[in-house]
Structure 1
Amino acid sequence: MSLVKVESSEGITTITMTRAEKRNALTQELCDGLYEAYRAFEAGQDKVAILQADGSSFCVGADLHNPPPAMWKAVPDVSHKLSKPVIAATQGWVIGGGICMVMTCDLMVSADTTKFMYPEAKVGVFGGLMPGIVSRMPHKVAMELLLLGEEIPAKRAYDVGFVNKIVPQGEERKEARRMASVIANSAPLVIRTLRDFANQTLPKGPAEIFVPERYKLEQIANSEDRKEGAAAFREKRPAQFKGR
Protein backbone atom coordinates (compact mmCIF):
# COMPACT_ATOMS: atom_id res chain seq x y z
CA MET A 1 0.00 0.00 0.00
CA SER A 2 1.29 3.46 -0.90
CA LEU A 3 2.48 5.65 1.96
CA VAL A 4 1.38 8.78 0.09
CA LYS A 5 -2.16 9.49 -1.12
CA VAL A 6 -2.64 12.06 -3.87
CA GLU A 7 -6.04 13.57 -4.68
CA SER A 8 -7.07 16.29 -7.11
CA SER A 9 -10.19 18.45 -7.18
CA GLU A 10 -11.13 22.06 -7.97
CA GLY A 11 -7.60 22.94 -9.05
CA ILE A 12 -6.09 21.69 -5.78
CA THR A 13 -3.76 18.71 -5.29
CA THR A 14 -3.87 17.19 -1.82
CA ILE A 15 -0.80 15.17 -0.81
CA THR A 16 -1.30 13.09 2.34
CA MET A 17 1.27 11.05 4.23
CA THR A 18 -0.50 7.90 5.43
CA ARG A 19 2.06 6.25 7.72
CA ALA A 20 -0.01 7.26 10.75
CA GLU A 21 0.88 4.21 12.86
CA LYS A 22 4.53 5.37 12.79
CA ARG A 23 3.62 9.07 13.16
CA ASN A 24 4.72 9.49 9.53
CA ALA A 25 8.37 8.82 10.32
CA LEU A 26 10.34 9.16 7.09
CA THR A 27 11.60 6.04 5.35
CA GLN A 28 13.03 6.14 1.83
CA GLU A 29 9.78 4.68 0.52
CA LEU A 30 7.82 7.56 2.01
CA CYS A 31 10.33 10.14 0.75
CA ASP A 32 10.20 8.66 -2.75
CA GLY A 33 6.40 8.73 -2.67
CA LEU A 34 6.43 12.43 -1.79
CA TYR A 35 8.94 13.14 -4.54
CA GLU A 36 6.69 11.49 -7.13
CA ALA A 37 3.70 13.43 -5.77
CA TYR A 38 5.54 16.74 -6.20
CA ARG A 39 6.56 15.80 -9.74
CA ALA A 40 2.98 14.92 -10.67
CA PHE A 41 1.68 18.15 -9.13
CA GLU A 42 4.15 20.29 -11.06
CA ALA A 43 3.36 18.50 -14.33
CA GLY A 44 -0.40 18.61 -13.82
CA GLN A 45 -3.08 21.28 -14.20
CA ASP A 46 -3.75 21.96 -10.51
CA LYS A 47 -2.72 25.42 -9.32
CA VAL A 48 -1.86 24.77 -5.66
CA ALA A 49 -1.09 21.82 -3.38
CA ILE A 50 -1.81 20.98 0.26
CA LEU A 51 0.72 18.86 2.17
CA GLN A 52 -0.84 17.08 5.14
CA ALA A 53 -0.57 13.88 7.17
CA ASP A 54 -2.88 11.33 8.74
CA GLY A 55 -2.70 10.53 12.45
CA SER A 56 -1.82 12.39 15.61
CA SER A 57 1.45 13.88 14.27
CA PHE A 58 2.42 15.52 11.01
CA CYS A 59 5.90 13.95 10.90
CA VAL A 60 8.40 12.91 13.56
CA GLY A 61 11.39 13.08 11.22
CA ALA A 62 13.54 10.22 9.98
CA ASP A 63 12.65 6.69 11.03
CA LEU A 64 15.73 5.89 13.11
CA HIS A 65 15.12 2.16 12.59
CA ASN A 66 15.15 2.61 8.82
CA PRO A 67 16.60 6.08 8.05
CA PRO A 68 16.22 7.35 4.49
CA PRO A 69 19.55 7.96 2.71
CA ALA A 70 17.86 10.64 0.56
CA MET A 71 15.51 12.38 2.97
CA TRP A 72 15.69 15.56 0.91
CA LYS A 73 13.35 13.94 -1.63
CA ALA A 74 10.50 14.55 0.87
CA VAL A 75 11.09 18.31 0.90
CA PRO A 76 8.98 20.44 -1.46
CA ASP A 77 10.92 22.59 -3.92
CA VAL A 78 14.18 20.87 -2.95
CA SER A 79 13.38 17.40 -4.25
CA HIS A 80 11.63 18.76 -7.34
CA LYS A 81 11.54 22.42 -8.37
CA LEU A 82 8.00 23.78 -8.13
CA SER A 83 6.48 26.80 -9.84
CA LYS A 84 3.22 26.59 -7.86
CA PRO A 85 2.48 27.13 -4.15
CA VAL A 86 2.28 24.46 -1.46
CA ILE A 87 0.36 24.89 1.81
CA ALA A 88 1.27 22.77 4.84
CA ALA A 89 -1.43 21.66 7.27
CA THR A 90 0.10 20.37 10.52
CA GLN A 91 -0.94 18.74 13.76
CA GLY A 92 0.95 17.21 16.67
CA TRP A 93 4.70 16.74 16.39
CA VAL A 94 6.70 18.26 13.54
CA ILE A 95 10.23 17.02 14.19
CA GLY A 96 13.56 17.06 12.34
CA GLY A 97 12.96 16.38 8.66
CA GLY A 98 9.32 17.26 9.19
CA ILE A 99 10.39 20.87 9.85
CA CYS A 100 12.47 20.84 6.65
CA MET A 101 9.33 19.84 4.76
CA VAL A 102 7.14 22.64 6.10
CA MET A 103 9.80 25.37 6.03
CA THR A 104 9.93 25.24 2.22
CA CYS A 105 6.14 25.38 1.89
CA ASP A 106 4.68 28.76 0.98
CA LEU A 107 2.01 28.88 3.70
CA MET A 108 1.29 26.88 6.86
CA VAL A 109 -1.84 26.27 8.90
CA SER A 110 -1.21 24.58 12.25
CA ALA A 111 -3.57 22.91 14.65
CA ASP A 112 -3.15 24.17 18.20
CA THR A 113 -1.59 20.79 19.05
CA THR A 114 1.37 21.40 16.72
CA LYS A 115 4.84 21.33 18.30
CA PHE A 116 8.14 21.86 16.47
CA MET A 117 11.41 20.29 17.57
CA TYR A 118 14.81 19.66 16.00
CA PRO A 119 16.71 17.21 18.26
CA GLU A 120 19.31 16.07 15.71
CA ALA A 121 22.30 17.43 17.65
CA LYS A 122 21.22 15.29 20.61
CA VAL A 123 21.11 12.10 18.55
CA GLY A 124 24.09 12.79 16.27
CA VAL A 125 22.15 13.16 13.01
CA PHE A 126 22.30 15.97 10.44
CA GLY A 127 20.96 15.91 6.89
CA GLY A 128 22.13 19.38 5.85
CA LEU A 129 18.88 21.15 4.93
CA MET A 130 17.76 22.52 8.28
CA PRO A 131 20.00 25.65 8.48
CA GLY A 132 17.72 27.14 5.83
CA ILE A 133 15.34 27.78 8.74
CA VAL A 134 17.39 30.91 9.52
CA SER A 135 15.78 32.72 6.57
CA ARG A 136 12.29 31.60 7.62
CA MET A 137 12.26 32.80 11.24
CA PRO A 138 14.29 35.23 13.37
CA HIS A 139 17.93 34.19 13.75
CA LYS A 140 18.02 33.71 17.52
CA VAL A 141 14.82 31.64 17.51
CA ALA A 142 16.17 29.54 14.65
CA MET A 143 19.42 28.93 16.53
CA GLU A 144 17.46 27.97 19.64
CA LEU A 145 15.65 25.36 17.56
CA LEU A 146 18.89 24.13 15.96
CA LEU A 147 21.28 24.13 18.93
CA LEU A 148 19.06 23.39 21.94
CA GLY A 149 16.62 20.98 20.31
CA GLU A 150 13.81 22.12 22.58
CA GLU A 151 10.11 22.21 21.78
CA ILE A 152 8.58 25.29 20.17
CA PRO A 153 4.77 25.27 20.41
CA ALA A 154 2.50 26.46 17.61
CA LYS A 155 1.72 29.76 19.36
CA ARG A 156 5.39 30.78 19.52
CA ALA A 157 5.95 29.65 15.93
CA TYR A 158 3.03 31.86 14.93
CA ASP A 159 4.35 34.80 16.96
CA VAL A 160 7.70 34.70 15.13
CA GLY A 161 6.04 34.37 11.70
CA PHE A 162 6.76 30.71 10.95
CA VAL A 163 3.06 29.75 10.97
CA ASN A 164 0.34 31.72 9.15
CA LYS A 165 -2.64 30.63 11.22
CA ILE A 166 -3.43 28.48 14.27
CA VAL A 167 -6.77 26.69 14.38
CA PRO A 168 -8.37 24.17 16.77
CA GLN A 169 -7.33 20.54 16.29
CA GLY A 170 -9.29 19.10 13.37
CA GLU A 171 -9.77 22.42 11.57
CA GLU A 172 -6.32 22.66 9.95
CA ARG A 173 -7.27 20.86 6.74
CA LYS A 174 -10.42 22.92 6.28
CA GLU A 175 -8.50 26.19 6.66
CA ALA A 176 -5.70 25.01 4.36
CA ARG A 177 -8.35 24.12 1.80
CA ARG A 178 -9.89 27.58 2.12
CA MET A 179 -6.51 29.20 1.48
CA ALA A 180 -5.87 26.85 -1.44
CA SER A 181 -9.24 27.75 -2.98
CA VAL A 182 -8.34 31.45 -2.91
CA ILE A 183 -5.11 30.68 -4.79
CA ALA A 184 -6.79 28.25 -7.20
CA ASN A 185 -9.28 30.96 -8.19
CA SER A 186 -6.63 33.66 -8.65
CA ALA A 187 -4.70 34.50 -11.81
CA PRO A 188 -2.18 31.65 -12.30
CA LEU A 189 0.46 33.72 -14.07
CA VAL A 190 0.41 36.32 -11.33
CA ILE A 191 0.55 33.69 -8.56
CA ARG A 192 3.50 31.93 -10.18
CA THR A 193 5.39 35.16 -10.82
CA LEU A 194 4.80 36.47 -7.30
CA ARG A 195 6.07 33.18 -5.89
CA ASP A 196 9.07 33.11 -8.23
CA PHE A 197 10.14 36.66 -7.42
CA ALA A 198 9.63 36.12 -3.67
CA ASN A 199 11.70 32.92 -3.72
CA GLN A 200 14.51 34.66 -5.59
CA THR A 201 14.60 37.18 -2.75
CA LEU A 202 14.63 34.50 -0.02
CA PRO A 203 18.13 33.35 1.04
CA LYS A 204 18.64 29.58 0.88
CA GLY A 205 20.87 27.32 2.95
CA PRO A 206 23.88 25.66 1.25
CA ALA A 207 22.24 22.24 1.07
CA GLU A 208 19.08 23.65 -0.51
CA ILE A 209 21.22 24.77 -3.42
CA PHE A 210 23.66 21.87 -3.55
CA VAL A 211 21.47 18.80 -3.00
CA PRO A 212 19.24 19.16 -6.10
CA GLU A 213 22.30 19.82 -8.27
CA ARG A 214 24.08 16.77 -6.87
CA TYR A 215 21.00 14.71 -7.68
CA LYS A 216 21.22 15.79 -11.33
CA LEU A 217 24.80 14.49 -11.42
CA GLU A 218 23.71 11.21 -9.78
CA GLN A 219 21.00 10.82 -12.41
CA ILE A 220 23.61 11.17 -15.14
CA ALA A 221 26.00 8.76 -13.40
CA ASN A 222 23.28 6.12 -13.09
CA SER A 223 21.65 6.72 -16.46
CA GLU A 224 21.21 4.29 -19.35
CA ASP A 225 22.93 6.84 -21.56
CA ARG A 226 26.11 6.69 -19.45
CA LYS A 227 26.20 2.89 -19.82
CA GLU A 228 25.47 3.15 -23.53
CA GLY A 229 28.18 5.77 -24.02
CA ALA A 230 30.78 3.59 -22.31
CA ALA A 231 29.70 0.53 -24.28
CA ALA A 232 29.80 2.41 -27.58
CA PHE A 233 33.30 3.68 -26.81
CA ARG A 234 34.54 0.16 -26.04
CA GLU A 235 32.87 -1.26 -29.15
CA LYS A 236 34.05 1.61 -31.38
CA ARG A 237 30.52 2.43 -32.64
CA PRO A 238 28.21 5.48 -32.54
CA ALA A 239 26.28 5.72 -29.29
CA GLN A 240 22.49 5.42 -29.37
CA PHE A 241 21.43 7.82 -26.61
CA LYS A 242 17.82 7.78 -25.36
CA GLY A 243 17.83 10.64 -22.85
CA ARG A 244 17.33 8.41 -19.85
Structure 2
Amino acid sequence: MEVIRRSAGVGRRAVLKALCVIWLPAARANNRQGSEPAVSRPLRIVIDPGHTPSRGGALGVRGIYEVQYNDALAEKVCEALRSAGFTPILTRAPGKEMTLEERARLAADQHADLFLSLHHDSAQLRYLEKISVNGHDAYRTIKPLQGYSLFVSQVNPQFSKSFRFATLLGNEMRQIGRTPSLHHAEPIAGENRELLDETLGIYRFDDLVVLKKNDVPAVLLEVGVITDPADEAYVSQEANQTRIVAGIVSAVRRYADEYSRP
Protein backbone atom coordinates (compact mmCIF):
# COMPACT_ATOMS: atom_id res chain seq x y z
CA MET A 1 0.00 0.00 0.00
CA GLU A 2 1.31 3.39 -0.91
CA VAL A 3 2.29 5.62 1.98
CA ILE A 4 -0.67 7.94 2.49
CA ARG A 5 0.00 11.63 1.93
CA ARG A 6 -2.21 13.68 4.26
CA SER A 7 -2.30 17.36 5.00
CA ALA A 8 -1.30 18.71 8.40
CA GLY A 9 -4.60 20.56 8.80
CA VAL A 10 -7.03 20.74 11.68
CA GLY A 11 -8.65 17.40 10.86
CA ARG A 12 -5.31 15.60 10.94
CA ARG A 13 -4.35 17.13 14.28
CA ALA A 14 -7.72 16.21 15.76
CA VAL A 15 -7.20 12.58 14.78
CA LEU A 16 -3.72 12.53 16.29
CA LYS A 17 -4.93 14.09 19.53
CA ALA A 18 -7.36 11.21 19.88
CA LEU A 19 -4.50 8.74 19.48
CA CYS A 20 -1.74 10.27 21.56
CA VAL A 21 -0.72 13.34 23.48
CA ILE A 22 0.85 15.96 21.20
CA TRP A 23 3.56 17.86 23.00
CA LEU A 24 3.07 21.62 23.28
CA PRO A 25 6.05 23.68 24.54
CA ALA A 26 3.80 25.96 26.59
CA ALA A 27 2.76 23.02 28.75
CA ARG A 28 6.24 22.12 29.92
CA ALA A 29 6.39 24.31 33.01
CA ASN A 30 3.14 22.90 34.35
CA ASN A 31 4.18 19.33 33.70
CA ARG A 32 7.35 19.77 35.71
CA GLN A 33 5.33 20.63 38.80
CA GLY A 34 3.64 17.89 40.75
CA SER A 35 3.28 14.97 38.34
CA GLU A 36 1.07 12.13 39.52
CA PRO A 37 2.73 9.22 41.34
CA ALA A 38 4.30 6.77 38.91
CA VAL A 39 2.38 3.83 40.37
CA SER A 40 -0.97 5.36 39.42
CA ARG A 41 -0.44 5.84 35.71
CA PRO A 42 0.23 3.77 32.59
CA LEU A 43 3.70 3.74 31.07
CA ARG A 44 4.37 6.90 29.06
CA ILE A 45 6.15 6.30 25.76
CA VAL A 46 7.40 9.18 23.64
CA ILE A 47 7.03 8.37 19.95
CA ASP A 48 9.25 10.52 17.76
CA PRO A 49 8.67 10.53 13.99
CA GLY A 50 12.10 11.45 12.68
CA HIS A 51 12.86 14.52 10.54
CA THR A 52 10.55 17.40 9.59
CA PRO A 53 8.84 18.74 6.45
CA SER A 54 11.75 21.09 5.73
CA ARG A 55 14.36 18.39 6.35
CA GLY A 56 12.68 15.29 5.05
CA GLY A 57 15.45 12.75 5.58
CA ALA A 58 16.22 9.99 3.10
CA LEU A 59 14.74 10.18 -0.40
CA GLY A 60 13.38 6.77 -1.30
CA VAL A 61 13.07 4.73 -4.45
CA ARG A 62 9.58 6.13 -5.20
CA GLY A 63 10.63 9.75 -4.74
CA ILE A 64 8.98 10.01 -1.31
CA TYR A 65 10.90 11.55 1.56
CA GLU A 66 11.46 9.55 4.72
CA VAL A 67 9.48 11.92 6.92
CA GLN A 68 6.23 10.78 5.29
CA TYR A 69 6.94 7.15 6.15
CA ASN A 70 7.88 8.15 9.70
CA ASP A 71 4.73 10.21 10.23
CA ALA A 72 2.43 7.48 8.92
CA LEU A 73 4.00 4.78 11.08
CA ALA A 74 4.08 6.96 14.20
CA GLU A 75 0.32 7.46 13.93
CA LYS A 76 -0.23 3.70 13.80
CA VAL A 77 2.12 3.09 16.72
CA CYS A 78 0.35 5.72 18.84
CA GLU A 79 -3.02 4.17 18.15
CA ALA A 80 -1.80 0.67 19.00
CA LEU A 81 -0.04 1.75 22.20
CA ARG A 82 -3.10 3.57 23.46
CA SER A 83 -5.26 0.52 22.69
CA ALA A 84 -2.79 -1.58 24.68
CA GLY A 85 -3.24 0.63 27.75
CA PHE A 86 -0.13 2.81 27.46
CA THR A 87 0.11 6.61 27.14
CA PRO A 88 1.88 7.54 23.90
CA ILE A 89 3.25 11.08 23.59
CA LEU A 90 3.97 12.31 20.06
CA THR A 91 6.90 14.70 19.68
CA ARG A 92 5.48 16.49 16.66
CA ALA A 93 2.41 16.39 14.44
CA PRO A 94 2.84 16.11 10.66
CA GLY A 95 3.78 19.48 9.22
CA LYS A 96 5.43 20.67 12.42
CA GLU A 97 9.07 21.71 12.64
CA MET A 98 11.03 20.64 15.73
CA THR A 99 14.69 20.58 16.72
CA LEU A 100 16.50 17.49 17.92
CA GLU A 101 17.16 19.15 21.26
CA GLU A 102 13.45 19.83 21.76
CA ARG A 103 12.67 16.16 21.13
CA ALA A 104 15.26 15.10 23.66
CA ARG A 105 13.95 17.52 26.31
CA LEU A 106 10.39 16.39 25.85
CA ALA A 107 10.73 13.04 27.60
CA ALA A 108 11.97 14.53 30.86
CA ASP A 109 9.46 17.38 30.71
CA GLN A 110 6.60 14.93 30.26
CA HIS A 111 7.92 12.45 32.86
CA ALA A 112 8.13 9.76 30.17
CA ASP A 113 9.34 6.22 30.79
CA LEU A 114 10.63 5.41 27.31
CA PHE A 115 11.58 7.19 24.09
CA LEU A 116 11.38 5.61 20.62
CA SER A 117 12.45 7.49 17.50
CA LEU A 118 11.08 6.06 14.24
CA HIS A 119 13.05 6.34 11.00
CA HIS A 120 13.36 4.72 7.58
CA ASP A 121 16.83 4.03 6.26
CA SER A 122 19.02 4.68 3.24
CA ALA A 123 22.71 4.07 2.46
CA GLN A 124 25.87 5.93 1.57
CA LEU A 125 25.94 7.44 -1.92
CA ARG A 126 28.43 4.83 -3.15
CA TYR A 127 25.59 2.30 -2.89
CA LEU A 128 22.93 4.47 -4.55
CA GLU A 129 22.01 5.62 -8.02
CA LYS A 130 19.86 8.64 -8.76
CA ILE A 131 16.75 7.91 -10.81
CA SER A 132 13.69 9.87 -11.90
CA VAL A 133 10.16 8.98 -10.81
CA ASN A 134 7.33 10.98 -12.41
CA GLY A 135 9.74 13.79 -13.11
CA HIS A 136 11.11 13.88 -9.56
CA ASP A 137 14.45 12.73 -8.16
CA ALA A 138 14.66 9.44 -6.31
CA TYR A 139 17.42 7.10 -5.13
CA ARG A 140 17.77 3.36 -5.63
CA THR A 141 20.32 0.93 -4.22
CA ILE A 142 22.69 -0.65 -6.72
CA LYS A 143 22.63 -3.92 -4.77
CA PRO A 144 20.10 -5.43 -2.33
CA LEU A 145 20.23 -3.68 1.02
CA GLN A 146 17.40 -4.63 3.33
CA GLY A 147 16.43 -4.87 6.98
CA TYR A 148 16.03 -2.88 10.17
CA SER A 149 18.62 -1.28 12.48
CA LEU A 150 18.53 -0.27 16.14
CA PHE A 151 20.66 2.45 17.74
CA VAL A 152 21.46 3.25 21.37
CA SER A 153 23.90 5.66 23.01
CA GLN A 154 26.18 4.85 25.92
CA VAL A 155 26.13 8.57 26.76
CA ASN A 156 22.48 8.18 27.71
CA PRO A 157 22.31 7.88 31.52
CA GLN A 158 19.80 5.04 31.13
CA PHE A 159 21.97 3.05 28.72
CA SER A 160 21.33 -0.36 30.28
CA LYS A 161 17.57 0.06 29.99
CA SER A 162 17.95 1.51 26.50
CA PHE A 163 19.94 -1.52 25.44
CA ARG A 164 17.40 -3.84 27.06
CA PHE A 165 14.52 -2.25 25.16
CA ALA A 166 16.53 -2.43 21.93
CA THR A 167 17.10 -6.13 22.61
CA LEU A 168 13.39 -6.74 23.16
CA LEU A 169 12.55 -4.77 20.02
CA GLY A 170 15.16 -6.62 17.97
CA ASN A 171 13.74 -9.94 19.10
CA GLU A 172 10.27 -8.83 18.03
CA MET A 173 11.53 -7.75 14.61
CA ARG A 174 13.15 -11.13 14.15
CA GLN A 175 9.93 -12.85 15.22
CA ILE A 176 8.00 -11.20 12.39
CA GLY A 177 10.64 -12.28 9.89
CA ARG A 178 12.75 -9.13 9.64
CA THR A 179 16.51 -9.39 9.54
CA PRO A 180 18.94 -6.69 10.65
CA SER A 181 20.77 -4.59 8.11
CA LEU A 182 24.45 -4.61 8.96
CA HIS A 183 25.67 -1.99 6.50
CA HIS A 184 26.12 0.65 9.21
CA ALA A 185 29.05 -1.38 10.59
CA GLU A 186 31.01 -1.21 7.33
CA PRO A 187 34.43 0.49 7.73
CA ILE A 188 33.63 3.33 5.35
CA ALA A 189 33.07 7.06 5.71
CA GLY A 190 29.72 7.85 7.27
CA GLU A 191 29.32 4.39 8.80
CA ASN A 192 31.72 2.30 10.90
CA ARG A 193 29.23 2.03 13.79
CA GLU A 194 30.00 -0.36 16.60
CA LEU A 195 27.74 -3.42 16.55
CA LEU A 196 26.71 -4.29 20.08
CA ASP A 197 24.59 -7.23 18.94
CA GLU A 198 25.02 -8.46 15.37
CA THR A 199 22.17 -10.98 15.58
CA LEU A 200 19.67 -8.31 16.59
CA GLY A 201 21.18 -5.40 14.65
CA ILE A 202 21.86 -3.16 17.64
CA TYR A 203 24.44 -0.42 17.13
CA ARG A 204 26.15 2.01 19.45
CA PHE A 205 25.87 5.57 18.12
CA ASP A 206 26.80 8.03 20.86
CA ASP A 207 26.39 11.19 18.77
CA LEU A 208 22.67 10.90 18.02
CA VAL A 209 21.17 13.90 19.82
CA VAL A 210 17.78 12.32 20.54
CA LEU A 211 19.55 9.46 22.30
CA LYS A 212 22.52 11.03 24.07
CA LYS A 213 20.62 14.06 25.40
CA ASN A 214 17.71 12.03 26.68
CA ASP A 215 17.29 11.43 30.40
CA VAL A 216 15.10 8.37 29.85
CA PRO A 217 15.80 5.06 28.07
CA ALA A 218 15.94 5.89 24.37
CA VAL A 219 16.17 3.84 21.17
CA LEU A 220 16.17 4.78 17.49
CA LEU A 221 14.64 2.26 15.07
CA GLU A 222 15.36 2.30 11.34
CA VAL A 223 12.36 0.30 10.15
CA GLY A 224 13.58 -0.54 6.66
CA VAL A 225 15.64 0.69 3.70
CA ILE A 226 13.41 2.83 1.50
CA THR A 227 16.04 3.17 -1.23
CA ASP A 228 15.92 -0.60 -1.76
CA PRO A 229 12.95 -1.49 -4.01
CA ALA A 230 12.11 -4.75 -2.22
CA ASP A 231 12.44 -3.34 1.29
CA GLU A 232 10.50 -0.20 0.43
CA ALA A 233 7.71 -2.39 -0.94
CA TYR A 234 7.75 -4.39 2.30
CA VAL A 235 7.48 -1.43 4.69
CA SER A 236 4.80 0.22 2.52
CA GLN A 237 2.39 -2.72 2.69
CA GLU A 238 -0.31 -2.27 5.30
CA ALA A 239 -0.14 -5.88 6.48
CA ASN A 240 3.58 -5.55 7.15
CA GLN A 241 3.10 -2.21 8.90
CA THR A 242 0.58 -3.93 11.16
CA ARG A 243 3.17 -6.62 12.00
CA ILE A 244 5.83 -4.01 12.71
CA VAL A 245 3.51 -2.01 14.95
CA ALA A 246 2.45 -5.16 16.81
CA GLY A 247 6.13 -5.99 17.35
CA ILE A 248 6.79 -2.54 18.80
CA VAL A 249 3.82 -2.82 21.16
CA SER A 250 4.90 -6.30 22.24
CA ALA A 251 8.42 -5.02 23.01
CA VAL A 252 6.97 -2.14 25.06
CA ARG A 253 4.73 -4.56 26.94
CA ARG A 254 7.65 -6.86 27.75
CA TYR A 255 9.73 -3.88 28.83
CA ALA A 256 6.92 -2.68 31.09
CA ASP A 257 6.63 -6.15 32.64
CA GLU A 258 10.36 -6.24 33.40
CA TYR A 259 10.54 -2.73 34.83
CA SER A 260 7.13 -2.52 36.45
CA ARG A 261 6.93 -0.21 39.42
CA PRO A 262 6.20 -1.57 42.92
TM range (shorter): 0.3 to 0.5
Q: Which has the higher contact order (CA 8 A, sep 6+)?
A: 2
The structure richer in helix per residue is 1
- Please identify the structure whose Cα radius of gyration is greater: 1
